[in-house]
Structure 1
Amino acid sequence: MPITFRKSFRILPGVRLNINKRSWSVTSGGSKGPRHTTSSTGRRTTSMDLPGPFGWRRTTKKAKRR
């Protein structure tokens, strides 16, 4: 089993700073309603828990420069 590193800090009510081995991200929003995550790698994710075993997620990536 690989060794992983992940740590999450609550910096404000409804805002978390997530740190892992290769990047960091900031997540805002609560459990009731959409959550918005922005990563240092340029990925943006919006997700939301729906009733029952359902969930919704939309991810966009920053375009690479040439």
Structure 2
Amino acid sequence: MFIDSEKRLKQLSDEAKKNTEDLEEAKKNSRFTQVSPKGWERVRELLKDSQGISALKLYSFLA
């Protein structure tokens, strides 16, 4: 039983370390916005006509 608790403590420690690393990695790119595939599809639609280009400027500003 003691062996299992040691394994569990190690597992919890590893998970905590991974979570900390993930948070630090997320902070590195905090000023970037990810665009979903649906968002890229919308960008391509807006580029097709002249009015869409104006809308694209607003769309990218809001993103």
Q: Which TM-score band applies after superposition, normalised by the shorter structure?
A: under 0.3
Which structure has more helix as a fraction of its residues?
2
Tell me the TM-score normalized by structure 2.
Answer: 0.21
Which structure has more strand as a fraction of its residues?
1
Larger Rg: 2
Tell me the TM-score normalized by structure 1.
Answer: 0.21
